[in-house]
Each structure stands twice: as structure tokens, then as C-alpha cells.
Structure 1
Amino acid sequence: MSTDYQPIKDHFRNHPKVEIAEGRGAQGLKLNGKMFAMFYKGDLTVKLKPETVTRLIDEGAGLPHDPGTGKPMKDRLLIPSDKRDTWIEYCELSLRECS
């Protein structure tokens, strides 16, 4: 696992409701056993309300997330690695919207 994600892991390590999924399978952050932020091919994908995803894409904050099906997911925002300085902010937003 890339150390690019280490600041996110460190930020959430002691959060009482967040589980850090590491090891095999999907890696990222979970709330109540469900992934809300996923480390994805060097980038970050966060789960948000569809209207939030649309707004943030329009603002240039991220891109639609296509998991390889050819159809972007309405409730996922892909934040590229060149915007990693915003990753914790969007993980926090995702946590609030998924709570």
C-alpha cells in the first residue's frame, strides 16, 4: 500500500466510529462495516450524496468514479492524487454524509 494514504490513516486511526480496512481486498475507511472512502489505484474515491458529487464535479474538485463498468457511480467522487491535499477534507465530508 502506498504511503500516500498514510496521512488519512493517521488522521482517522483513533476515530471511535471509523475502521481502517487494510490488507487484502478493498482498502480504505469504513463506517458501520461499509466503505465510505476507498484507496483506488493511487487516487481516492469517497461516497457522498449524488447531489454533492454532481456539485463537486462541476466545481472541479474531482471526477466521476467508474469502477470499470463503463457507468460512473452517482454517489462516488474520484479525487485524483494531484489533489491529495484535499483528501482528508473530503473523507470528513463523506463521513458526515454517510453517518
Structure 2
Amino acid sequence: MANALVSVQILPKPAHGEDVIPFVDEAIRIIQESGVKHQVQPLDTVMEGEMDELLAIVSKMNKRMMELGCKNVITQVKVLYQPEGITLETLTEKYR
């Protein structure tokens, strides 16, 4: 069972003032290709899995923004670490 939920919002600053949406799409693609369970939401994406793996994905997202030519990137991360296990549904099922 997963031991963490990580909410990530990435705010890249493209070098030439381009639209940020293609960069955010690339960051989401990295999450999708990782195979971790996740939910894309309007202002962030929440991932479910092992904390170390999820934080490595966040790192990969930031490095990819630099590869694409961004000047910098601000990444907001929230982590719920619960060694006995946690799922996305645990926190949201009563609202669905």
C-alpha cells in the first residue's frame, strides 16, 4: 500500500515568455509515464505512492523544465506521509 500522497503544482518560467501550458503538460506527462496513481486537478496534481518515488518524480519534472529552456521553476509541494498506508480515496470518498 502507498505510504504518501504528494500534491504538486509546477510554475515554470519559460525563457522567452512563452505560454506555460505546454510546459505544465510536459510535467503531467512525466507523472503519467511514471505509472503512479494520480489525479490531475485544475490547480495541481495529486500522486499516490511511495514517498521517495513521488519526490523523485517531482525532481524529474523540475529538471525537465530546465531542459526545455525555462529560466526557473517554482514548485509547490504538499506531502502526506502515513507509513501504515494512505490512498487518494481515503481523504475524498465521503465527498464523491
Bigger Rg, structure 1 or 2: 2
> Does TM, normalized by the shorter one, top 0.5?
no
The answer to which structure, 1 or 2, has the higher relative contact order (CA under 8 A, 6+ apart) is: 2
Give the TM-score normalised by the residue count of structure 1. 0.31
